[in-house]
Amino acid sequence: MKKKVIGLIDGQSGNIGSINKAIKDIIKGRPYQLKIIKSHFNYKSFDKIILPGQGAYATLMSNLKKLKIIQPLKKYLENNSSYLGICVGMQILSDWGYEEKTTRGLGIISGDIKKFINKKLIIPHMGWNTVNLKKDDTIIANSFDKKDFYFVHSYIFQNIKKSDVLAFTLYGQKFPSIVKKGNIYGVQFHPEKSHKHGLNLIKNYILKS
């Protein structure tokens, strides 16, 4: 049986160790192989791609450009191939990011990444918070509804189509915590740091989507 190839992008904007370990544990003994993407790649060679992101929107986009990853990644996404973006890896799917400076995103899911509006909030939004499902899906079934996941962020997806939002979270205001367009997913929280429910989400993405 030919193994499915999962690509894990190292955008040099944070430690990929925890997500790397989680994926390896999930695919152990299964017909999958994991490849770390650190530079230009053949977008046709991967069945799934995961991009974990920490830090700033502009920094990640700059790193991906330097590593010559942006163009093959855009072709991969425009082909509606399977993708999971985590935190900033989700945010760069947008049209524009307004962190540090105005930065053009990948333009896959319409919307902008802007800072929380409420000045009374403690920013960054850090810690456990509840994910509220808007609709059922392969990777985030009803069993995840009203469950807590781990967040660390100061910016949120705004001006997004309702149809592209799978789940939302409340922190002073509603914001999208899971987005989806076709086979492309994004989560604002860190599933690799969210214990059982987070690891189950990654597992569902790899094995079921």
Choosing from 78, 100, 190, 197, the catalytic residue is: 190
Question: What region, left, alpha or beta, does residue 195 occupy, with left being phi > 0 and alpha being psi -120 to 50 degrees?
Answer: left
Cβ neighbourhood burial of 166 (10 Å; 0-12, 13-18, 19+): buried
Please list the residues that pair with 34 across neighbouring strands: 6
Q: Is 87 a catalytic residue?
A: yes
Q: Pick the catalytic residue: 87, 99, 125, 153? A: 87
Q: Is 190 a catalytic residue?
A: yes
CB 154 within 8 A of CB 100: no
Residue in 40, 192, 195, 197 annotated catalytic: 192
- Number of H helices and number of E strands within the chain? 5, 13
What tokens does 148 get? 């807590």
The closest alpha carbon to 207, from 150, 139, 160, belongs to 139
Give me the sheet containing 48-53, strands edge to edge.
Answer: 32-37, 4-9, 48-53, 82-87, 184-187, 174-181, 165-170, 125-133, 147-153
Catalytic residue ranges: 87, 190, 192
